[in-house]
Amino acid sequence: MVVLQNLARTIDVGSSSYLLDIGNTRVVLDAGMHPKLEGPGSLPDFDALREGSVDAVCVTHAHLDHIGAFPVLCRRQRNAQICMTEETMALGGAMLHNSVNVMTSKRDELNEPSYPLFGHKELDEIFQKLTPAPIGRRFRLGDTGEVRCTLHPAGHILGAVSTELEWEGGNLLYTGDVHFEEQSIVGAAQLPCKHFDTLIVETTRGDYERHPDYTRQAEMERLGTAIRETLKAGGTVLIPVFAMGKTQELLVMLRDLRDAGLIPRVPVHIGGLSTKMTTIYDRFADRSHRLNSGLQLLRDLDFVSPAAGRRSGEIHFEPGRIYALSSGMMTEHTVSYRFARNILAEKKNALLFVGYADPESPAGKIQRTPRGGTVELARGNVQTLHCRVEKYDFSGHAPREHLLEYIREVSPKTAFLVHGDLPARHWFAGQLAESHPEMNVIIPEPGEAYVVE
């Protein structure tokens, strides 16, 4: 018998964390921190776990909504076996150290005395003890040896994996965040095409229908056109990106556009955290699931320049430049959020979005605002939008059609629909009810436990 409990506190793209009881082995899949919540409320419900009761923790990748609460879980489960790739160890460690800095600054800004929820020394102690898990090679989880684990490349970002678990009489696959197509620097997912009794599958893009004629190349050329026209008009381009993953993908796209003569040779400024993450991407250039294996981004792309200054007020603004600054959703207090004031008010400038934005984030609000309208980016921060705004589909998540095809191919007895807003999950549930009425399709409620025979 297998029991799955959703440890997340909300049904959305938030703090991913799931408890599995497989016979006598207890496994936690991911330990994310909710990006829109603060303090202890941003963590999964780890109070549901007796201290020291977990045998293994498997982290699929280094985005904070999957790894952000990992140190808190480790504090409570000190003897648990840790399972993550070497790339996730490197990227995740850097992201979590940055998270400490962010929480420390928020402690006074938000009057949140619980911050930081963990510290630099604690992180160093945790990561010094970790041993990277292999990709594509089966190994055992926990002391009983009854559960075997195999990690499969998931696309998405560097080091991301899907987690396959096997035991006598059953098996399961947790996709984590997955993409079945090659991106600019990360290869496509390589998931097993076989029957699984249980599938825990992301649904991020369930409420978005991609155009049937979509090609990544055409989307790149459309991006190049907007950049070229903006720079020709004497404007400045701001591309909000996440420091890890999207920044590195964008740099390769900009190189390809420049080499094809589609954009001029102008400096591209990136921030400090993006520079750190790009250094890690370069470290794994020739020994990971990476495309362009010989390419060292910071060494070989001579147009890349780290943006000077830690706050947007200190960043030297110049027309005729491209600024690729985090965060991708322009979350309040981030560099892209602060820097946007240089962009929004001028018609000649462009604000170009290349990834997912929560509808209620500043980026989401801007995308819904017509040119000439006003947008409240945060309480008390109302701006008039005059610049060019465009959105492009370079998502690191699989389009819903590809995920649905995979679910139907592996034909699980039970499918748990996770990591998506309710409309996205409902789309998958409706499609599967139509094509596979015998399949047990579950949208797991926060805190609820589900028995899978």
Q: Rounded to whole angstroms, how far apart are CA atoms 389 and 402? A: 28
CA distance 148 to 153: 17
Which residue pairs from 391-394 have beta carbons closer than 8 angstroms and sit at least 24 positions apart in sequence?
A: 391/352, 391/353, 391/367, 392/219, 392/222, 392/223, 392/352, 392/353, 392/354, 393/210, 393/214, 393/219, 394/183, 394/216, 394/219, 394/246, 394/249, 394/250, 394/253, 394/354, 394/355
How do the domains of the chain map onto residue ranges? 2-208+396-452, 216-391
Count of C-beta atoms within a 10 Å radius of residue 139: 12
The pLDDT of residue 307 is: 57
Distances (CA, A) of 325 to 263, 310, 330: 19, 11, 9
Task: Check whether 350 has a pLDDT greater than 80.
Answer: yes
> Which class is domain 216-391?
alpha beta
Contact 207, 181 (CB under 8 A): no
Three-state helix/strand/coil letters over 20-56: EEECCEEEEECCCCCCCCCHHHHCCCHHHCCCCCCCE
pLDDT higher than threshold 80 for residue 282:
yes
Helix, strand or coil for residue 306? strand
Query: pLDDT band at 314, cuts 50/70/90?
Result: low
Write the CA distances from 385 to 176, 343, 360, 371, integer angstroms.
36, 9, 17, 6
Token pair 């556009």 is found at 257
Confidence band for 315, pLDDT divided at 50, 70 and 90: low
pLDDT at 310: 47
Query: Can you give the pLDDT at residue 313?
Result: 40
Confidence bin at 401 (pLDDT 50/70/90): very high
pTM (two decimals)? 0.95
What mean pLDDT is predicted for residues 430-451?
A: 98
CATH topology of domain 2-208+396-452: Metallo-beta-lactamase; Chain A (3.60.15)
Contact 163, 173 (CB under 8 A): yes
Mind listing the pLDDT tens digit for each residue in 6-54? 999 999 988 999 999 999 999 999 999 998 899 999 999 999 999 999 9
195-220 per-position pLDDT tens digit:
999 999 999 999 999 999 999 999 99
